[in-house]
Homo-oligomer: A and B are copies of this chain.
Amino acid sequence: MKTVSLHDITELVGGTLAGCESDATQLSICGVNTLACADGKEISFLANKRYRDVLATTEAAAVLIAEDEPNPSQVCAIRVKDPYLAFAMLQRLFHPEKVASGYRHLSAVIDSSAVLAADVDVAANAVIGEQVTIGQGSRVGAGCIIGDRVSIGKRCLLHAKSVVADDCVLGNEVYLQSGAVVGSDGFGYAWSGERHLKIPQSGRVILEDDVEIGANTCIDRGAIGDTVIERGVKLDNQIQVAHNVRIGAYTVMASQVGVSGSTIIGKGCQFGGQVGLAGHLNIGDGVKLAAQTGVMTDLDPGGTYAGSPAMPHRLFFKVSALLLKLPEIWKAQRSR
């Protein structure tokens, strides 16, 4: 198990020690843990104020705290600008990604026309189609299916049983969680007078660099033209992204969001879980949507919305509170 001195940790996170014993800097730290569970060889962090009470009883060797936080009396503290970011850095230090080593399981089916960098890993029962290219340092999990002519960049990680359909493109450092489907057909039919005639979905899915796609999330290929997920976007589990959607850089969505076809979402947006968006909308940069919001109209940049249909979130909370008074409103009006 990796150990790092508290001194080195403090340097790594760019913090300053406060309230620690004089020899604390030489302490060997073995990992990161929560305030409640950390032991004397682990470091912890206070990022969510609701856990501040636990500071008094934590057994952690040291605690990452914000610069404006008072000194905890009973534990050595490392003051940092952003304790959550510092936690993330330490968690990455103690749990580094595996490095690709060029391992190819005998049961993997790799088409002879596929071009894989020498160090690409391919686990058991994965299937890699014709003319696929996979860049340095990427790893393909067990049972993944990669269709024909797919392009996958460097240092990507495809967890077990993710699917990338024909012709789709993944940039560098793209992560797919298990069961993710990239490139399913969009939901397109024309009524023929007798039946719903399927419209071939001839576009692709493009996942730019640093994108992560959650477990069992589906990204439909474009009908004509592509579905595009821009750089740094993070999508949680069980999200549905329909054909020809574009999601702007660094936008994050919690699980079970549904985005209908051809909707364009700006950069740096944040959507809560179970949000739904109608099709052909334009959602501005930096829009925030509370969980379960239903969006049927374009939204200007920077707003925060809630409710279904969506309204400004302050209004939503006011309306929600008044809903509880509807019986009173009704009664008062009747009594006049």
Query: Across the interface, do A33 and B224 meet the contact criterion of CB distance under 8 Å?
Result: yes
Q: For residues 166 through 208 of chain A, which have their beta carbon under 8 Å from a beta carbon of chain B?
A: 175, 177-179, 181, 184-185, 187-192, 195-200, 202
Query: Across the interface, do B324 and A329 meet the contact criterion of CB distance under 8 Å?
Result: no
Cβ contacts under 8 Å, A142 to chain B: 109, 127, 129, 145
Q: Which of B91, B161, B232 contacts A161 (CB 8 A)?
A: B161
Q: Which of B34, B215, B274 contacts A258 (CB 8 A)?
A: B274
CA distance A187 to B234 in the complex (A): 8
Query: Across the interface, do A48 and B280 meet the contact criterion of CB distance under 8 Å?
Result: yes
Q: Which of B175, B198, B215, B273 contacts A212 (CB 8 A)?
A: B198
CA distance A322 to B311 in the complex (A): 12
Instruction: Judge whether A12 is part of the interface by a CB distance below 8 angstroms.
Output: no
Cβ contacts under 8 Å, A123 to chain B: 127
Cβ contacts under 8 Å, A230 to chain B: none
Query: Across the interface, do B309 and A318 meet the contact criterion of CB distance under 8 Å?
Result: no
0 or 1 for each of A228-248: is its CB under 8 Å from B? (1 = yes):
000010101110101000000
- Of the candidate stretches A3-11, A70-78, A79-87, A114-122, the one touching chain B is A79-87
Q: How far is the CB of A45 from chain B (nearest CB, A)?
A: 10
Cβ contacts under 8 Å, A224 to chain B: 32-34, 37, 91
Query: Across the interface, do B330 and A329 meet the contact criterion of CB distance under 8 Å?
Result: yes
Cβ contacts under 8 Å, A189 to chain B: 88, 234, 252
0 or 1 for each of A245-271: is its CB under 8 Å from B? (1 = yes):
000001010111010100000000000
Instruction: Judge whether A92 is part of the interface by a CB distance below 8 angstroms.
Output: yes
Query: Across the interface, do A95 and B327 meet the contact criterion of CB distance under 8 Å?
Result: no
| Number of copies of this chain that the complex holds | 3
Q: Which of B105, B141, B165 contacts A160 (CB 8 A)?
A: B165
Cβ contacts under 8 Å, A187 to chain B: 214, 234, 236-237, 254-255
Q: How far is the CB of A151 from chain B (nearest CB, A)?
A: 17
0 or 1 for each of A310-336: is its CB under 8 Å from B? (1 = yes):
010001001110111111011011000
Instruction: Judge whether A159 is part of the interface by a CB distance below 8 angstroms.
Output: yes
Query: Across the interface, do B280 and A197 meet the contact criterion of CB distance under 8 Å?
Result: no
Query: Across the interface, do B109 and A107 meet the contact criterion of CB distance under 8 Å?
Result: yes
Query: Across the interface, do B237 and A255 meet the contact criterion of CB distance under 8 Å?
Result: no
From known contacts A50-B280, A165-B178, A311-B324, infer whether A240 and B218 are also in contact, taking CB-CB under 8 Å. Answer: no
Q: How far is the CB of A82 from chain B (nearest CB, A)?
A: 7
CA distance A332 to B329 in the complex (A): 11
From known contacts A50-B280, A224-B34, A260-B273, infer whether A237 and B214 are also in contact, taking CB-CB under 8 Å. Answer: no
Instruction: Judge whether A59 is part of the interface by a CB distance below 8 angstroms.
Output: no
Q: What are 12 A-B pairs at a CB distance below 8 A?
A: A82-B190, A94-B200, A107-B127, A125-B143, A143-B161, A160-B165, A196-B250, A238-B238, A276-B292, A319-B327, A322-B326, A332-B333
Q: A85-B197, A184-B214 are in contact. List 14 more A-B contacts (CB 8 A).
A: A91-B202, A92-B199, A95-B200, A141-B145, A143-B143, A159-B184, A177-B184, A189-B252, A214-B218, A218-B255, A258-B274, A308-B308, A309-B320, A322-B326
Pick the 6 closest A-B CB pairs, nearest first: A88-B190, A184-B215, A95-B200, A85-B190, A145-B160, A240-B255
